[in-house]
Structure 1
């Protein structure tokens, strides 16, 4: 082959690779960025920075520590052996029987990682469902631990309300939501996240996008969006949609869900203004010294539960995916130790197990052992 032919072949290969990459990054699974018209409305948010042209946290929240470069961290993540990153065999789980669930019973069922099914005030609520076997952009990435997917989307009942805390892959799953879309009555999410859902076929009339502090009422249920210390983005563009936590409240019950969040003074403010909480569902996993501001260490999770005046703590963001360097059991062990002697009770249900501390259902077995 001549030099000219070789260069032509190389140029053709690079062009094909570039086109393939572009098509992949613009495929439906990546969702969509807010349109220009939608961006005009997002700018009215107090969380929007005109100088940066995106949402931002009220206090400095770098994604990485000063000594942790993105490319080096990515290389370490791919190349560093992690012998305890996932369980050696399937751990004990339960398959929920939604048909036997009394319609007037307030119940929380952890579905692994940050996915929850909640029945509250007669409403059936689903939070950050990822039931496709993967928490990444392709099916072979961020695989769920063996046996941790106890349900398929088709096995869930009709959902009154879907809550999405932010658009990261391990919280906003394209395949799960496409399968559930016909059976979801309404959605609540942070500003800018509706663009993803509309691309996936959700009608605008079903989507309620809100700012921190905004509330939405659905019969007996009030949903309040709360501050979180994190970031957003499904590709190379970040911070164009708002991340959040949620307060779920009825006349008799109050539940807090943190979403992904580093520790910060917002937990104390939320606890003072809206606590106490019957149950706090708090992030407790995927932490690392390289990203100390966007996720909580287990000891910070325990402190956040105290700040919130929570009567019970259920640690989440663990037990299904490996997205950090720590052993898969470590978050449970550390939060268990950090919760001793605290005013709240620690509940550690198996995936698929019912939790209702107000009715004496407060599982605390060390199932991870």
Structure 2
């Protein structure tokens, strides 16, 4: 190759590289990626005891990936990994409950698939990590929802007294969903830094309550929401851990409900159980696990142990039943948590998506719906 040809090739490569970089920059500037914390919100982050060297850190220091590999390497592995039965053989069952028709004084929980929940507690309507889009990713061809797993839309939601966002990953903070809910939301409670996304999306600052682990939001005289520790990480784009991940404990005069958010197993569950004298219902991370993710997600057996640590009277598995984010078969978490719950003090409840669980009376046993699906019954 002569010098002139080499220079042409080098120029072409530089142009292509520049176009790719420019395209990536433009893609990441889209509204759905949100924004990084700034101004007063950033100043509060800098004062957090859980923030150091430019990022948030878990209470128990440990690598996000247990083998300490990079996210790029983990992504490449996920693309070539062999998966067995990653999706159900037919649409998952669901039940449509008209949410506006529910009696406001009746404490009720509805699992909406994955980690999304609609809760009525103390007369207040609370929505957790809603994802009503048919995918949980920045692009529509990735992380698609199972057939039948998204029976609700923003139009089915009543006015929401408080929207809870555990962290800013795409399967928990969905841009189209929160934008569709915008006129219905009266309060937003999220971890430190997550409010920057909502401010970029045009939500009034008066609605946004950013909190650190251990903080409490008195929603009103009837309901208090405690922001709790989780073992996980955050980030919607190329940055990591600029915003805080969390769980929530919802407390009324008559009962409490705990949502773990995404979390690996740790001592925080026993500490919460001791602090609150047990919980009436635990909504716990139970799926999308593998060995490399063992610090940031629980296996079903760890979920059962966490429920015992919490002194939970009832357990409803979360982070399952809608998306295939890990390598295990889609129904493996359900099978393993059912086995791990045998003989335990807590009551495992397994409603289908959208099925109302009345907390004011005795909670019945629910069929293992995934077994019926597998057998084609």
* Fold equivalence (TM over 0.5): yes
Matched, 1:183 2:184: yes
- 1:204-257 CA deviation, whole Å, 9 max, x = no partner? 100111111111112211000011111111112111111111010111111000
1:156 match: 157
Other structure's SS at 1:272 match: helix
Instruction: Give the 3 Å change call, closer, same or farther, for CA 362–245 of structure 1 in structure 2.
Output: farther
Match of 1:310 in 2: 312
Moved more, 200-209 or 211-220: 211-220
Equivalent position of 1:46 in the other structure: 49
Q: 8 Å contact 1:190–1:242 — kept in the other structure?
A: yes
Is 151-160 or 314-323 further displaced after alignment?
151-160
| Contact map agreement 1:45 1:211 (CA 8 A) in 2 | yes
| CA–CA distance in structure 1, aligned partners of residues 97 and 13 of structure 2 | 54
Q: Which residue of 1 aligns with 2:22?
A: 19
For the residues of structure 2 that align with 1:188 and 1:363, how far apart are their CA atoms? 32
Range moving further from structure 2, 230-239 or 311-320: 230-239
SS at match of 1:39: helix
RMSD between superposed Cα atoms in Å? 1.6
After TM superposition, the score normalised by the length of structure 2 is 0.94
- Name the counterpart of 1:331: 333
* Residue in structure 2 matching 1:30, options 28, 33, 37: 33
1:213: which partner in 2?
214
Q: CA deviation at 1:46?
A: 1.7
- Aligned residues of 1:299 and 1:335 also touching (Cα < 8 A): yes
| Alpha-carbon shift at residue 12 of structure 1 (Å) | 2.6
* Cα distance in 2 for residues equivalent to 1:239 and 1:70: 13
Q: Would you say the 8 A contact 1:186–1:206 is kept in 2?
A: yes
Name stretches of at least 5 consecutive residues in structure 2 with no aligned partner.
372-377
Q: 1:242 aligned to 2:244?
A: yes
SS at match of 1:225: strand
Q: CA deviation at 1:149?
A: 0.3
After superposition, where does 1:135-154 map in structure 2 within 5 Å? Answer: 135-154=136-155
Cα distance between partner residues in 1 of 2:292 and 2:245: 21
- Deviation above 6 Å: which 4+ runs of structure 1? none
Indicate the residue corresponding to 1:300 in structure 2: 302
1:241-279 CA-to-partner distances (Å, cap 9, x unmatched) read 111110101111110000011000000000000131110
Structure 1: unaligned runs, 5 residues or longer? none
* 1:255 match: secondary structure: strand
Question: Where does residue 173 of structure 2 map in the other structure?
Answer: 172
- Which of 60-69 and 343-352 deviates more? 60-69
Q: Provide the aligned length of Structure 1 versus Structure 2.
A: 367
Residue in 1 that maps onto 2:375 = none
